[in-house]
Every structure is written in structure tokens, then in C-alpha cells.
């Protein structure tokens, strides 16, 4: 039997006075908790520049975030910040000034493909902002003047245009905006006036006009609803053989995943791991999910939906 200790973290033997450091523990939802229930450990240290905070994935013993705050309570970000995936790779990085993004911010996929390059001024995007998917395909380009006016063009992974339109000052949609289905036909032609929708026309994937232009937005759903989804998870969940959880009777693995436009699961990964044996079981269950009912966005087309699912392993004591 292999014991698994849910909160082993070996910290460097550097001593600070209690006035210079603050230690906290958080559960998988980032709610402060007792150490026995923690998935993250946070260490904040007073420096000449402010308060340097480092958050760790406890079980992985790796950084989740490091950054500089102006205050001991870590309410005002004021310096460079870097966020990490559980394996230690960078998720995104950039600078805050008085709690607002400033300068160049970069984002990365789990394979370390650049996915976001944006420049900020007092918290607002300015200039050219580009986004890519994990395969390196350009999916979004935004060009803004200092007042927030400009243009936006988005693409599907297949290279076809997803949407396009103009923005007035303050990044408000203005004039005609056109949205497309993945097959290239128009899904919606919408008219905006300083951010307010004044008219729209819907079209089917075959290009035929749709008379009902009521809001089509709906979330992705598992057939049978949430109860059926929970039943699916429970029916396939097993404890890994020859493992025992110490100091607790449960373990939680959090899996992030996407429900694509056809209802299939894609890009599933463990965002809050526990232990490789448990992580694999949770991830395999999500990946093997039956098809979902796909989401529909406000522009009359199927859309990807992003989900985060805690998978709860309960240890039965005998």
C-alpha cells in the first residue's frame, strides 16, 4: 500500500521574522483553509520594493504564481507577475502598475506555443493585440488607437473568418459586425451604435435567413442534465489500486476541458493535480465522456464552451 500525503511541501530553510512574512493555505477553489485541506501554499515576504508573493502547487512543489504587491494583504498588484502551469511551464506573464496591466503581456499554451501578445496602457489594450491557438494558428487580431477605437478580426482554427467589425472609442462595437458559421456562411449580421445593438439578421448554416432573431445563447449541456453528468462521473470513478490517502478521506483532482462545436471533449488537462495515479483516472473519465449538447453563442452559431470539473475521490475506511 502506497501512502499519499496530500500536503507535503519542503520549503527552503530561510528564516524570516513574523513581521516580514505571511503564510497562507488555500483549497482547490482558492479559498483559505487549514493546511490539511490545502492544494496551494502562499508565502508573502516584505521587501524594499513591496510585498513579494509566491504561490505553490503543494503536491507538485512548483510555483503557481510569483509577483509583487504594494500591500501586505496582496490586494494591489504593482510589479511583474508570472503564472505557471502545474508542470512549471509559464502560462502568462507581464507587469501591473497600481493594479492595472501595463506594457507587454504574453500568454502561452501548455505546449509553450505563444497564444497572446498584447500591450496595455493603464489596464486597456492599445496598439496591436494578437492571439493564436496551441497549434500556432492566428485566431484573433485587434488593432486599437489610444482612445480604444479600431478594428477586430477573428478566425476559426480552419482559417475561415469567425467575425469582423469596427470599434469606436472605448472599444465599443460600432457599425456593421458580421459573424460566420465554421463552414464559412454568415450566421449573423448585426448593426451597432456606440456599443448598443440596434438590429440583427440571422442565417442558417445553409445560408438561409432565419426569421426568429431572439437571443440564441445557451450553454453546453450533458444529455440528461447535470444529474446525468454526475452519475456518469460517479459510475466510472475508482480509487487507484494499492494507494491510501493519509491525513484525509478524500482527494480532489480538477480537470479543465473544452466542449467543442460538435459536443466533443477536447484539450482536457488537470489544472489542479493531486497525484499521477489519481490524475490519470480523472482525466481519462473526462476524455471518455459521451458527446454533449454544444453551446450556442449570441450570434446564432455553435460555440466552444470551457468547463472546469472537480473529480472527488472518496476513500472508504474499512
Per-residue pLDDT tens for 142-159?
999 999 999 999 999 889
- Please tell me whether residue 154 adopts helix, strand or coil conformation: strand
For 229, the enclosing helix (H) or strand (E) is helix 225-236
Mean pLDDT, residues 65-91: 98
Mean pLDDT, residues 127-145: 97
pLDDT, residue 56, reads 98
Convert the pLDDT of each residue in 180-196 to its tens digit.
999 999 999 999 999 99
| Beta strands 196-203; 186-193: pairing state | antiparallel
For residue 11, is pLDDT > 80?
Answer: no
| Bridge partners for 296 per DSSP | 218, 302
- Please tell me whether residue 182 adopts helix, strand or coil conformation: coil
pLDDT, residue 2, reads 61
pLDDT, residue 7, reads 44
Domain range summary for the chain, segments of one domain joined by +: 1-88, 137-214, 225-314
pLDDT, residue 177, reads 99
Convert the pLDDT of each residue in 25-34 to its tens digit.
999 999 999 9
Among the listed residues 222, 205, 204, the one whose alpha carbon sits nearest the alpha carbon of residue 213: 204
- Please tell me whether residue 230 adopts helix, strand or coil conformation: helix
pLDDT, residue 161, reads 97
Rounded to an integer, what distance in angstroms lies between the CA atom of residue 244 and that of residue 251?
10
Mean pLDDT, residues 41-62: 96
Mean pLDDT, residues 7-33: 70
For residue 114, is pLDDT > 80?
Answer: yes
For residue 165, is pLDDT > 70?
Answer: yes
| Model confidence band, residue 4 (pLDDT cutoffs 50, 70, 90) | low
User: In the chain, pLDDT over 70 holds for what percent of residues?
Assistant: 93
Query: How big is the CA angle at 97 (ends 67 and 68), to the nearest 5 degrees?
Result: 20
pLDDT, residue 1, reads 56
**Range of lowest pLDDT (73-77, 128-132, 154-158):** 154-158
Mean pLDDT, residues 82-104: 98
Mean pLDDT, residues 103-112: 98
User: In the chain, pLDDT over 90 holds for what percent of residues?
Assistant: 85
Convert the pLDDT of each residue in 216-272 to its tens digit.
899 999 999 999 999 999 999 999 988 888 878 889 999 999 999 999 999 999 999
| Model confidence band, residue 12 (pLDDT cutoffs 50, 70, 90) | very low
Per-chain mean pLDDT for the chain: 93
In our burial notation (b when 16+ CB lie closer than 10 A, e otherwise), range 241-271 reads eebebeeeeebbbbbebebbbebebeebbbb
Domain 225-314 sits in CATH at 3.30.1150
Mean pLDDT, residues 118-146: 96
Amino acid at each position: 500500500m502506497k501512502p499519499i500525503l496530500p500536503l507535503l511541501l519542503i520549503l527552503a530553510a530561510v528564516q524570516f521574522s513574523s513581521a516580514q512574512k505571511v503564510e497562507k493555505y488555500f483549497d482547490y477553489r482558492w479559498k483559505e483553509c487549514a493546511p490539511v485541506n490545502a492544494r496551494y501554499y502562499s508565502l508573502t515576504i516584505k521587501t524594499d520594493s513591496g510585498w513579494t508573493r509566491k504561490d505553490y502547487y503543494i503536491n507538485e512543489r512548483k510555483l503557481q504564481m510569483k509577483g509583487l504587491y504594494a500591500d501586505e494583504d496582496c490586494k494591489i498588484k504593482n510589479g511583474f507577475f508570472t503564472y505557471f502551469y502545474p508542470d512549471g511551464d509559464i502560462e502568462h506573464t507581464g507587469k501591473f502598475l497600481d493594479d492595472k496591466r501595463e506594457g507587454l503581456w504574453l500568454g502561452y499554451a501548455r505546449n509553450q506555443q505563444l497564444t497572446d501578445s498584447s500591450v496595455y496602457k493603464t489596464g486597456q489594450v492599445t496598439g496591436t493585440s494578437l492571439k493564436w491557438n496551441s497549434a500556432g494558428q492566428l485566431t484573433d487580431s485587434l488593432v486599437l488607437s489610444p482612445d480604444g477605437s479600431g478594428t477586430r478580426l477573428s478566425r476559426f482554427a480552419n482559417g475561415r473568418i469567425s467575425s469582423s467589425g469596427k470599434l469606436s472609442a472605448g472599444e465599443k462595437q460600432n457599425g456593421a459586425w458580421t459573424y460566420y458559421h465554421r463552414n464559412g456562411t454568415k450566421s449573423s449580421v448585426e448593426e451597432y451604435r456606440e456599443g448598443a445593438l440596434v438590429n440583427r439578421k440571422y442565417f442558417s448554416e445553409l445560408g438561409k435567413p432565419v426569421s426568429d432573431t431572439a437571443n440564441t445563447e445557451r450553454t453546453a449541456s450533458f444529455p440528461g442534465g447535470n444529474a446525468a453528468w454526475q452519475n456518469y462521473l460517479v459510475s466510472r470513478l475508482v480509487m487507484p489500486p494499492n494507494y491510501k490517502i493519509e491525513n484525509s478521506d478524500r482527494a480532489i483532482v480538477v480537470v479543465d476541458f473544452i466542449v467543442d462545436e460538435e459536443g466533443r471533449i477536447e484539450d482536457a488537462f488537470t489544472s489542479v493535480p493531486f497525484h499521477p495515479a489519481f490524475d490519470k483516472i480523472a482525466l481519462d473519465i473526462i476524455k471518455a465522456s459521451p458527446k454533449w449538447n454544444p453551446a450556442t453563442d449570441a450570434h446564432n452559431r455553435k460555440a466552444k464552451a470551457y468547463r472546469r470539473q472537480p473529480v472527488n475521490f472518496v476513500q472508504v475506511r474499512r
